[in-house]
Amino acid sequence: MNLLLIVSAIAGFGCAIGHSYLSERYILRPLYAATNGSRILENPVNRRLMYAMWHLPSIAWSLVAAATLWMFFAPQWFDATASTLLLYFGIGIYMPAALWNAIAFRGPHVGNILLTIASLALWFGVNV
């Protein structure tokens, strides 16, 4: 294991924190403030559900980043099977999110750059 695992974890945590904080501030709060008569957004259950689903990717990225840090600081807990599982799960979480982000923004964006760095650093950090 090497320092690429730290890079992957930092990129994963950075993307998760940025996604949650910035989207809360610039998307969700204005959206909830200006319901414009939308019956969907006036329902408190729908608001809580939308809030939870919006932050779900950040939770997944944080969990993968935390497991990556755990792999770096406590490698004795990770045998070949656990390392492979984290590798596939981590890349399976990071890379599709990076691709969908690139498609949605139609080009480079800090989110897809950080997620790609997290994915590649995890791949090379485990396989080196």
Residue 3: CB partners within 8 Å, gap ≥ 6? 125
109: left (phi over 0), alpha (psi -120 to 50) or beta: beta
Structure token pair of residue 93:
């979480």
Instruction: Report how far residue 75's alpha carbon sits from residue 101's, in angstroms, rounded to the nearest whole number.
Output: 32
- 0.95 exceeded by the pTM? no
Question: Residue 32 in contact with residue 41, Cβ under 8 Å?
Answer: yes
Give, for all 128 residues of the chain, the pLDDT tens digit.
589 999 999 999 999 999 999 999 998 888 888 867 778 888 889 889 988 999 999 999 999 999 999 999 998 888 889 899 999 999 999 999 999 999 999 989 999 999 999 999 999 999 87
Instruction: Report how far residue 88's alpha carbon sits from residue 123's, in angstroms, rounded to the nearest whole number.
Output: 9
Structure token pair of residue 16:
């998760």
Structure token pair of residue 32:
């909830």
Question: Residue 8 in contact with residue 68, Cβ under 8 Å?
Answer: yes
Rounded alpha-carbon distances, angstroms, from residue 71 to 47, 55, 76, 109, 118: 36, 25, 8, 28, 14
